[in-house]
Structure 1
Amino acid sequence: MIREILQRNFDFSVDSKEIAYYEIGILICTILGLLFIILMPLVGYFFCMCRCCNKCGGEMHQRQKQNESCRRKGFALSLLVICLLMRQVDLGIMYGFVANHQVRTLIKRTENLTESNYRDLQTFLNETPKQIDYILAQYTNTKNKAFSDLDDVDNLLGGRIKDQVKPKVIPVLDDMKAMVTAIRQSRDALESMNDSLKNISDGSTQLSTDLTDVKNSVENSLQNSNDCASEPTKDICDNIRSELSNLGSNLDANQLPSVDDQLNKVNDICKTDLESLVNKGYTSIDEIPGKVGNQTVDVITDVKKVLDSISSTIKNVSQSIPIEEVLSQVSRYINDSKDYFHRELPKLEEYDSYWWLGGLIVCFLLTLIVTFFFLGLLCGVCGYSKHATPTRRGCVSNTGGIFLMAGVGFSFLFCWILMILVVLTFVIGANVEKLVCEPYANKQLLQVLDTPHLLRKDWRFFLSGLMLNNPNINLTFEQVYSDCKKGRGVYATFQLEHVFNISENLNIEKNTGKIMKELENLNVNIDNIELFNQTGRENLENFVNSGIEGIDYPQYLKEAEKSPTKVDLLVFASSLEEKTDKLPDGNLKQDLKRDVQRIKTIHQQQVLPMQQSLNTLKQSVRILEHTSKKLSERVNKIIMSLDSAQNFLTSNVSSIVTEETKKFGKTIVGYFAHYLEWVLYAITEEMTSCKPVVTAMDSAVSGVLCGYAADPLNLFWFGIGQATALLLPAVIFAVKLAKYYRRMDSEDIYDE
């Protein structure tokens, strides 16, 4: 029906029945109110005229009846019920006062709420440029992150390539380094072994000669001495002579051949700096990040230029979005409404003062009537005496009856005026509630506004024609209200893609494609890595053929375990010295003493150094034995691993570089793809949320119109109407009851 009225298609003769059916409840109540308004003055007028003619209870004479006591008690009980109902009347009057006070405070609340909404809307308009600046600032952060990765390409890209190569190469280099160390240790051990053998050979010859000289000297001394002819000297001499056979060298120099040939071969190998060759392999791997950095300088510069150009593109896109144009229109409407509000607010305040005064008078009249009824009830009940005849009733009882009739008089005078106010406020308040507040709450009102060609005949959709200059776009009040309620951005809510398609202008694939195109120019060449040259390989093979595997290490260890002499010279010298001390003084004793001293000297000067040489020999032999153990197998394994690692570098390093370059490029592109997706979502969904607009609408309709205006209005007619309706039974019982409380002019003859 509203659509038809707005479109001027309403046929009163046909559609009035439908309106009447819809408004049937309001119409019935209004008709009852109008009957009340018409009949109450008429009834009051005729009632007054009738009582002036001593009719309708106007005659001041009360006849005695047999059921008088029951009637009086019945009326008293009814009056008691009325008194209880009067509490409802009091409640209705209180409702009227509350409603009147709400209307009184409406202006101040409306002013505060409106100013708050205007501030929110102004903040909403002012925040838009800040949000755009924030989005652009986030691009700076993304670009700085990408620039940081590009500047660190040697560690990020080169480091990843190096990490891919290291597991295949570093173990081989470690094995070669260990082998080079073993070659150097073998050379040192051979040199030490050769020196020890020479010292042992020379020492053994000299020791054998010196011990032979000592042995001959002792034998000569024993043979040339006359002291050995007699007892007991003879036994001592024989004993000494028998022990001389143990005095001699215990080593066989022929069992310890020289290792000069092996040493010469190893020395020839060590002339090549194998350690530097191994370190060169390590260095070639460690130099991969540096090579990547040096070879990508130009490409990185080009990529940075592309990133800077994307920054300009995003800035242009953000500034080209017509959000500010839409918001400027909204701002114009807001300013117009704000000016209208401030212009009309003084008038509203003036009208409110009239309403406040009228509501106060209405509540005062009702209070006055109810007060008369309460006073009449109180005085009548308290002053009534059953022993007093109607003409002799007391002053208090008579006053109660007068109060009741005064209340009845005021009821007839003013209740129809009160009903006029009730009917007017009821019709306005009920229709505002049913036609505006409830439809706005369930969005039926918005659906009505969304009717095509409703507000303008040449526009299919009014809102899209107003905001987008294209009335054919399906942009409805209901959809805008729902989206704004959810906090969506202006772009998505008002479908600004029909004016400026940000997805096309902010083409993610196009922008990231530029970056990928530049990153495809990354051409890193690290194919010329050589872990170990041919000379190094030959030296490893020569080390295997050096002969250290063929040395008879057990024989050397067996000889090295022997003592340099057959007997411990110190023990032998001590024994000889002990026996010599038993000989008589003479030449023999002195000669033997000299020989004991020579034996000790030989032990100190020859045996001990020879023992040290044997220990050194033993240590060198053990080192060589450990080094030469499965030497051929170990070297062959190292060479095979080296060939495998070199083949890996030759065959796979290019694919590794290509794969890691793509990963690096995807990482850089990923920053911007993620950022551009966020920009698209932020601009379309979150930027400049239009929720303050919905809040302002809800405040204007639900808050001001329904909450501050319609609700107090409905509360007013409900309270005043309830009180006015309850006056009807109060008037009837008050008239009946007054007859029993007022003092009569005449009476029947009353029996005891």
Structure 2
Amino acid sequence: MAARQLSLLRTFLLFAAFVTLCRGQNTTASSPVTAGSGSAASAGSCTVGTGNAVSCNFASLPSGQTYRTGDPHAAGGLQGYYNLMSSFVRTIQPGEAYKIINDVLGGVDILNYILTSWQQLAVDYIGWVICGALGIAFLLLLPLVGLIFCCCRCCGNCGGKMQQKEEDRTGCWRSFHSVCLFIVTVFMGTGVALALMSSMQMQPSVTGVGETIKDAFADVPTYINNTKTQLNYIVNQQFDVVYDAIIQDIDDRGTLVGDPVKAGLAVDVDPAIQAVMDMADTINVASVALQVVNNSLTVLQSKATEFTQNLTNIKNALDRFTCDATDNPCTTFNASLDTSGLTAEGDFSSLNIGSELDSVNNVLSVNLTSLALQGKQEFDNISGIVEDTSASAVQGIKTQLDSVKTTVQDIPNQLSVIDTIQNQISGFESMVDDIVGYADQYTVYVGYGAIGLCCLVLLLVLFNLMGLMFGACGSSKSDPPSDRSCMSTSGGNFLMASVGFAFLTGSLLMIIVFVLFLVGGLVERNGCQPLEPPNYDLIAQTLDSTNFLGNMLCQNSTKQVSFADGLKQCGTGSGIYKAFGLDCVLNISEYTNFRTKFPNLNTQLNDITSSVNLSGIVILSEDAKNNLKEFNNSGVSGIDFDTFLNETRKGLAATDLTAFADNLATAAAGFTLQSNKDRMNAIIADLRDMQGLESEVDNVETNINTLKTASTTLQNDISTVLTNAEAAEAKIQTDGPGLVQSSVTAYADRVLGYGDSFGQHVKDVVDNQVGDCGIVKKIYDAMVGNICDWFFNSLNGFWFGLGWCLLFYIPSMIFGVKLAKHYRRMEPDEEEYDGYYDNGAYPGPQSYPMHDMKQGPKASAPPNWHRNGSNRVGPPPERW
């Protein structure tokens, strides 16, 4: 049996091992998104909060099938009586028998122990010795006293003489004896009633105990199946939650590792990239402005020569202009005309921005915007870099996790020992059914015998009650003892029958009470009472004191495993692992530490650091940097804008051609000859046609100003852009690996955090839910309750009730004999006859018929013959 129990315990421990193993191998990570799908999602979810804090919430374990074991039987109204019996047993043995029990369990020869230590045992168990001695004395002396009493009665002694002397106190004594006998009879009736009710519980208690045992054996497979169901739920559905979360995080490693790296570098890289893109736009604006200025200068320079030639021709034409003498206004105007201002003023041939435009075009040929966008794309693709470069390392992690998953989910299939235990329990169940069947078959006869024994005592009670009733109803104070009625005499006879029956049955009852007292009382005191909760003293002082479970389960380990404490823990809803301290068999903490259990996984996750290379991220190529530097040294910033503006501000001619033309037009309007007017208007028209070139000069000046404005901060901006770009690239190269390392470390902690969360969950459910040993406590309570509080209480209640009755046997016999003398019809004594003759009332023998003394009936005193003081009055009774 012990081997089977050990197998059962080891089976559970194996289950616990698999749970913790599964914990150890289940490390799943997910982001703040619920992980798992299908049945896994219903089994729980994992989320990640601030600081990569992993939190997994798992669904409650399936409750499984219900158990058959019910609550222990309740004694009901007999509980107080049973408590009195228990108190009596505890009174006769105040101390405990743990030392003897431990010696017996330790293999000590009990017979030799008793023989060698009987004196000390007698002192320790003096209560049992006294009760046993009293029982034996009662058993031996009652028949002897009965025999002597019968002989004494037959000799006319001990109340056997059928004469009673009437005295004044006779009525008082009769009342006293009647009351005492009635009280004794009531006590005996109470005892026999309680004994009878207890005996009626014997047969149901045997059946109940059998049912409890069968229910217990039926609940063990149920317990195992429920535990297996919970186990499968943990290693499949709940493990899949963690597994899926880990796989999801592994697939999202680019985002989970790359985004923190990108965020750490973005403070420097994003502004640098944006500055390059802005610089490209600025240079484009400068390029456009240069091109416009260059085009304007080209147009202006091409038209400046023609303008000079035309202006010279107009000056010469005006200088050669002659007027007819008859046209005085013309002559006067011509004489005062000053053409010295008609000379070209601005020299545009020296204005050249071709080299600057070439420098800008060289920069633009590199396409800074495209380079910046390319750098931004590479920077934004850090997640992709992480994902691509860590593919080989991740594949190893996935392979290991798949192996773990296969191992974990195959663990329930390796618990074949459970099936063996279930088969063994099935055999026990059939054996229990046979035993219970036999017990039910023969217990009914035991019940009949108990009822018969109760009826023996009940017969005495009925005799006493009948005697009291007949005697009290049939007697009168005025009746002399020799003149008592038949009813009164019947009452006395009933009392004497009760006394005689008590002598006949007392020894038999004492034998039965004595045997049951020793068996039931010892079991009650040394077995049942110490097994009661909440202390379970018998278990604590025997099995636990020798560390029986620790030695059996932990292989002689120093670990103390307490069965009593385990039962207490089971009462609070703990799992069997925690309740019985089975960590000595399987230390879950060794499996729940995922980081130490699977160091390779941590190493593989950290290998991502070495595989991620950010050296390919470039914000500006070396060519782009060189072009920007050359442009910064000889580009737009090298243009002498003051020279440009001075030349454009000189104007096209030394005089204002528009005003000059207006003056000519005014003067021409006053010419009297039309020919003069026509010639002057032609010159004016040529002059006005040349004024269109002034707009070109204005455009050049405007474009020069625009270019000047754009180039004011361009040099500093280019320097800043180059500095920021180089600093950002340096940060990527110097800080990038460190950021990758910290991000990978956080990522590894996140992934391993799922294992930590699942491991803690497994530890919690193994401690408090898996294999909930509340049914162990319930089976224990039902077994102890039904065996002790039902069967043995009914057995002990039976002998206690009979013993209670036997305690009142002697008072019943004493008062019965005494009271019978007052109820039975007595013979007249000599005093009655002497008083009759002394009064001279005897009429002579001839007045009365003579009868044969041997054959004739004995006369009785006539009714009117009664005591008058010390004399008798009336005719004397017939003596023959």
Q: TM-score range by the shorter chain?
A: 0.5 to 0.7
- Letter paired with 2:800: F
Partners of 1:746 and 1:549 lie apart in 2 by 174
Aligned to 1:646: 729
The 5-angstrom pairing of residues 60-99 of structure 1 reads: 60-76=162-178, 79=179, 81-99=180-198
Compute the displacement of 1:155 (Å): 1.4
Quick one: which of 389, 393, 398 aligns to 1:304?
Answer: 398
- Letter paired with 1:423: F
Quick one: which of 821, 826, 832 aligns to 1:739?
Answer: 821
Partners of 2:718 and 2:542 lie apart in 1 by 93
The 5-angstrom pairing of residues 443-462 of structure 1 reads: 444=538
- Kept in 2, the 8 Å contact 1:380–1:399? The answer is yes
Compute the displacement of 1:515 (Å): 1.8
Aligned to 1:143: 243
Compute the displacement of 1:293 (Å): 1.7
Aligned to 1:253: none
Quick one: which of 189, 199, 214 aligns to 1:115?
Answer: 214
- Kept in 2, the 8 Å contact 1:266–1:546? The answer is no
Compute the displacement of 1:362 (Å): 1.7
Instruction: For residue 63 of structure 1, give the secondary structure of its aligned residue in structure 2.
Output: coil
Aligned to 1:436: 527
RMSD: 5.2
Unaligned stretches of 5+ residues in structure 1: 194-259, 453-460, 551-619
Partners of 1:311 and 1:450 lie apart in 2 by 40
Aligned to 1:364: 455
Report whether the alignment pairs 1:715 with 2:797: yes
| Residues 264 and 718 of structure 1, relative CA distance in 2, 3 Å threshold | same
Partners of 1:518 and 1:698 lie apart in 2 by 53
Partners of 1:407 and 1:324 lie apart in 2 by 69
| Residues 278 and 478 of structure 1, relative CA distance in 2, 3 Å threshold | closer
Q: Can you list the C-alpha shifts for 1:338-397, whole angstroms capped at 9, x where unaligned?
A: 444333333322431221011111222222322332333344444443333334445554
Aligned to 2:507: 416
Higher relative contact order, structure no. (Cα contacts within 8 Å, ≥ 6 residues apart): 1
Compute the displacement of 1:96 (Å): 0.8
Instruction: For residue 868 of structure 2, give the secondary structure of its aligned residue in structure 1.
Output: coil
Compute the displacement of 1:662 (Å): 2.8
Aligned to 2:616: 528
Aligned to 1:7: 108
Partners of 1:494 and 1:330 lie apart in 2 by 22
Quick one: which of 264, 267, 283 aligns to 1:167?
Answer: 267
Identity %: 26
- Letter paired with 1:517: T
Q: Can you list the C-alpha shifts for 1:708-751, whole angstroms capped at 9, x where unaligned?
A: 43222221111111122123223322322233333334365533
The 5-angstrom pairing of residues 637-676 of structure 1 reads: 640-672=723-755
Q: Can you list the C-alpha shifts for 1:129-149, whole angstroms capped at 9, x where unaligned?
A: 555544542544433322211
- Letter paired with 1:342: D
Compute the displacement of 1:545 (Å): 4.4
TM-score for the superposition, normalised by structure 2: 0.57
The 5-angstrom pairing of residues 328-347 of structure 1 reads: 334=425, 337-347=428-438
| Residues 347 and 161 of structure 1, relative CA distance in 2, 3 Å threshold | same
| Residues 397 and 708 of structure 1, relative CA distance in 2, 3 Å threshold | same
Aligned to 2:652: none
| Residues 462 and 651 of structure 1, relative CA distance in 2, 3 Å threshold | closer
Instruction: For residue 526 of structure 1, give the secondary structure of its aligned residue in structure 2.
Output: coil
TM-score for the superposition, normalised by structure 1: 0.66
Q: Can you list the C-alpha shifts for 1:649-677, whole angstroms capped at 9, x where unaligned?
A: 23211221222223323333444466567
Partners of 2:530 and 2:130 lie apart in 1 by 23
Quick one: which of 505, 514, 519 aligns to 2:600?
Answer: 514
Compute the displacement of 1:29 (Å): 0.7
Quick one: which of 141, 144, 147 aligns to 1:42?
Answer: 144
Partners of 2:239 and 2:491 lie apart in 1 by 89
Instruction: For residue 744 of structure 1, give the secondary structure of its aligned residue in structure 2.
Output: coil
Size of the alignment, in residue pairs?
608
- Kept in 2, the 8 Å contact 1:463–1:476? The answer is no
Partners of 1:667 and 1:384 lie apart in 2 by 104
Partners of 2:494 and 2:638 lie apart in 1 by 144
| Residues 175 and 745 of structure 1, relative CA distance in 2, 3 Å threshold | farther
Instruction: For residue 750 of structure 1, give the secondary structure of its aligned residue in structure 2.
Output: strand
Compute the displacement of 1:273 (Å): 5.5
- Kept in 1, the 8 Å contact 2:471–2:823? The answer is yes
| Residues 192 and 354 of structure 1, relative CA distance in 2, 3 Å threshold | farther
- Kept in 2, the 8 Å contact 1:508–1:676? The answer is yes
The 5-angstrom pairing of residues 310-389 of structure 1 reads: 310-312=404-406, 314=408, 325=417, 334=425, 337-389=428-480
Report whether the alignment pairs 1:102 with 2:185: no
- Kept in 2, the 8 Å contact 1:161–1:656? The answer is yes
Partners of 1:89 and 1:635 lie apart in 2 by 122
Partners of 2:710 and 2:214 lie apart in 1 by 95
- Kept in 2, the 8 Å contact 1:463–1:475? The answer is no
Unaligned stretches of 5+ residues in structure 2: 1-99, 294-351, 643-702, 833-865, 870-880
- Letter paired with 1:110: V
Aligned to 1:592: none
| Residues 735 and 154 of structure 1, relative CA distance in 2, 3 Å threshold | same
- Kept in 2, the 8 Å contact 1:404–1:738? The answer is yes
Compute the displacement of 1:110 (Å): 1.7
Compute the displacement of 1:697 (Å): 6.1
Aligned to 2:872: none
Compute the displacement of 1:532 (Å): 4.5
- Kept in 2, the 8 Å contact 1:394–1:743? The answer is yes
Report whether the alignment pairs 1:152 with 2:252: yes
Q: Can you list the C-alpha shifts for 1:151-175, whole angstroms capped at 9, x where unaligned?
A: 1122111222222222333344456
Compute the displacement of 1:416 (Å): 2.7
| Residues 84 and 33 of structure 1, relative CA distance in 2, 3 Å threshold | same
Partners of 1:479 and 1:332 lie apart in 2 by 28
Q: Can you list the C-alpha shifts for 1:287-333, whole angstroms capped at 9, x where unaligned?
A: 1112222222222222212222334555677777xx755x5775576
Partners of 2:279 and 2:604 lie apart in 1 by 46
Aligned to 1:24: 126
The 5-angstrom pairing of residues 249-648 of structure 1 reads: 275-312=369-406, 314=408, 325=417, 334=425, 337-394=428-485, 396-438=487-529, 440=531, 442=536, 444=538, 473-474=556-557, 479=562, 482-483=565-566, 486=569, 512-522=598-608, 523-532=611-620, 535=624, 545=637, 640-648=723-731
| Residues 187 and 370 of structure 1, relative CA distance in 2, 3 Å threshold | farther
- Kept in 2, the 8 Å contact 1:30–1:423? The answer is yes
| Residues 494 and 666 of structure 1, relative CA distance in 2, 3 Å threshold | closer
Quick one: which of 848, 855, 867 aligns to 1:750?
Answer: 867
- Kept in 2, the 8 Å contact 1:489–1:690? The answer is yes
- Kept in 1, the 8 Å contact 2:592–2:756? The answer is no
Partners of 1:738 and 1:476 lie apart in 2 by 73
Partners of 1:477 and 1:521 lie apart in 2 by 45
- Letter paired with 2:801: G
